[in-house]
Amino acid sequence: MLVIYDTIRPAFFRYHITMKTITMRHNVPGSAPGILFHLLSFFTGSKSESLYQRLLRFIEDAHRDGVIGDGRYAVALGKAAKLNRFLTITGGKKMSAHEFTTDVLMEYRQFLYDEYKYVPLYPDLYPRGSGHHWPKKRLRDTTVVHDLKILQAFFAELENSDEIRRSPFRKLSMEKRRIIMHTMYDAPVFLRAEELKEVMATEVPSELQWVKDLFVLNCAIGCRIGDLLRLSPDKVSVSEEGIPYVHYIPSKTARLLSTNKEILTPLIEPALEIINRTGLHFMDNNHHYGKQRYNKALRQLLRYCGITRKVSLFNPDTGDNVYKPLCDVATSKLARKTHIDMLNKVQINYYAAGLHRSGSDAVFRYTSLELKDRYELLRAAFGV
Q: What percent of the chain has pLDDT over 90?
A: 47
pLDDT tens string 79-130: 999 999 999 999 999 999 999 999 999 999 999 999 999 999 999 999 887 6
Residue 87: burial class (beta carbons within 10 Å; 0-12, 13-18, 19+):
buried
> With bands split at pLDDT 50, 70 and 90, how would you rate the model's confidence at 242?
very high
Q: Which amino acid is at 253?
A: T
Instruction: Give the C-alpha distances (Å, rounded to integers) separating 376 from 128, 238, 266, 301.
Output: 52, 15, 9, 28
Q: What is the pLDDT of residue 118?
A: 95
- Separation CA 308–CA 311 (nearest Å): 9
Backbone conformation region of residue 140, classed left if phi is above 0, alpha if psi is from -120 to 50, else beta = beta
Check whether domain 193-382 has CATH 1.25.10, yes or no:
no
> With bands split at pLDDT 50, 70 and 90, how would you rate the model's confidence at 254?
low
Q: Could you tell me the residue ranges of all domains in the chain?
A: 1-47, 49-180, 193-382
Query: Exposure string (b/e) for 11-41, b if CB count within 10 Å is 16 or more?
Result: ebeebbeebbeebeeeeeebebbbebbeebe
> Which range, 154-168, 336-350, 367-381, has the best average confidence (pLDDT)?
154-168
- Separation CA 26–CA 197 (nearest Å): 68
Higher pLDDT pick, 258 / 127:
127
pLDDT tens string 269-325: 999 999 999 998 876 644 445 667 888 999 999 999 999 999 988 776 677 888 999
Residue 179: burial class (beta carbons within 10 Å; 0-12, 13-18, 19+):
exposed
Q: How far is CA 165 from the centre of its chain?
A: 29
- Separation CA 222–CA 200 (nearest Å): 16
pLDDT tens string 19-47: 444 444 444 444 444 444 444 444 443 35
Question: In this model, does residue 380 exceed pLDDT 70?
Answer: yes
Residue 318: burial class (beta carbons within 10 Å; 0-12, 13-18, 19+):
exposed
Question: In this model, does residue 141 exceed pLDDT 90?
Answer: no
For the segment 201-209, the average pLDDT, to the nearest whole number, is 94
Q: What is the pLDDT of residue 355?
A: 41
Q: How far is CA 146 from the centre of its chain?
A: 8
Q: How high does pLDDT run on average in the chain? A: 80
Instruction: Write down the pTM of the prediction.
Output: 0.64
- Separation CA 101–CA 94 (nearest Å): 14
